Amino acid sequence: MAEGSGLGKMGEWKLLQCLGEGLQGKVFLAKNVKTNETRALKYLFKSKMEEKQFQNLKREVAAMDSVKGSKHVVRMLDIDWKAQLPAEASEDGKAWDAVCIFLEVCGDGELFNYLMFTGFFDERLARTYFKMLVEGMCDLHSKGFSHRDIKAENLLLKDGILKIADFGFSAKHELSPGKLTKLRTQCGTPGYMAPELFNSAEYDGPPVDVWAAGVLLFVMLVGSPPMAQAAPADWWFDRLLANQHELFWRAHEQTGHVLSDSAKDLILKLLTPSSKKRLTLAEVKEHAWFKGDACTEKEAIGALCDRKQIVEEKREEDRKEKETERRRKRRQADGSSAFDPFQRSVVLRDLPGSQTKTIQLPSLPASTRLPVTNFIPPCGTSAKETWVNVMKTMDGIFTSGEFKLVNVSSAATSTLFF
């Protein structure tokens, strides 16, 4: 996106484009106007946070701060507790009070996009990124934190390196060295949530992350999730509960894609329904499949190069759609008088004596399909000129021989075609 996109500034930081949004905030790509450095600015709106959400934010910041030196965790570079989202970047045209977290930019995007748009990875590439994930999780767990929302959407790529992001559900499972505590909040993304999150009042944090890592490894290798949800009545999960592993794999292999025996073994040990019997991260590192050959960082970049072009095209399409929607909402919020061929009235502002007049448009049948291009006014056209042009176009359409009434169904539904 061009730097003059009109998203405003916060101090020395110019907002370039929206990277994503959630229930409580938005993330923007920003550039420092003095140093040209780029950052991802994560705005969390205070008006959308109650006390509980604010405490969760404090835990998120504490978790990220504890692992800021980890190679496989998105680095938190700064935080502004009294920030404001510029009015130009908001949908209602108003500045929003927020907490702003400054993060390193991971320009290659989410691992999810690579899997969604380009398919599963071969075992060597999957092993490469799984090792990076395990290293990042080990760093986090060693500081006494559990992530609780490990998934492909929360894993970002930067120059071939995988980095864990979004610590909004993170929690302390080790209050002090050796002093462990149970966690109680049911949270996460259903398809990645461990069974104990559904059937226990309290649980241990690290095994929950291990289960999610097992789901992710399956997705990387197969291209689809192992089950809908780790709860009874899910056919796939029930096969794991009943130790019907051969049936579990036979069903998944109907697509013709078959994994190595070593990969299957590791996945089953990660997706063990009992958290007590599930592998620890230390045991994962000792597994034969984990110790297999992996790509170098340079090889990983090369392996994703062709995939990245496809992902970038999809991301650009998505960005344009979101930008169009943002502008539409902004026009609605500020009462913009930009001409809309489907609105029921037009305000004329160019009348003599600075007068204004509202003209009601005639109602048309709901089934009418009008060629929108006929109503796009030239740049600089006034509201009055636009209305005159519209009337001329309408008059020409309804008196032309091309205007026909066509029955399109036995129910005598009428549609207007041009």
Task: Kindly compute the dihedral angle of the four CA atoms of residues 228, 231, 236, 240, in this order, to the nearest 10 degrees.
Answer: 140
* Residues present in the chain in total: 418
Is 209 labeled as catalytic in the residue annotation?
Answer: no
Per 3-state DSSP, what percentage of the chain is helix, strand, and coil (rounded to 5)? Answer: 40, 20, 40
How far is it between the farthest Cα atoms of the chain?
85
The two three-digit tokens of residue 304, written as one number: 């994703």
**Could you give phi then psi for residue 149, rounded to 5 degrees?**
-150, 45
Residue with tokens 């650009």: 316
> d(Cα 274, Cα 267) in Å, to the nearest integer?
14
> d(Cα 136, Cα 386) in Å, to the nearest integer?
59
Q: Are strands 96-103 and 38-45 parallel, antiparallel or unpaired?
A: antiparallel
Per the residue annotation, which of 108, 139, 149, 209 is the catalytic one?
149
Task: Count other C-beta atoms under 10 Å from residue 345's C-beta.
Answer: 9
Angle between helix axes 111-118 and 297-334 (nearest 10 degrees) is 100
Q: Which residues are catalytic?
A: 149
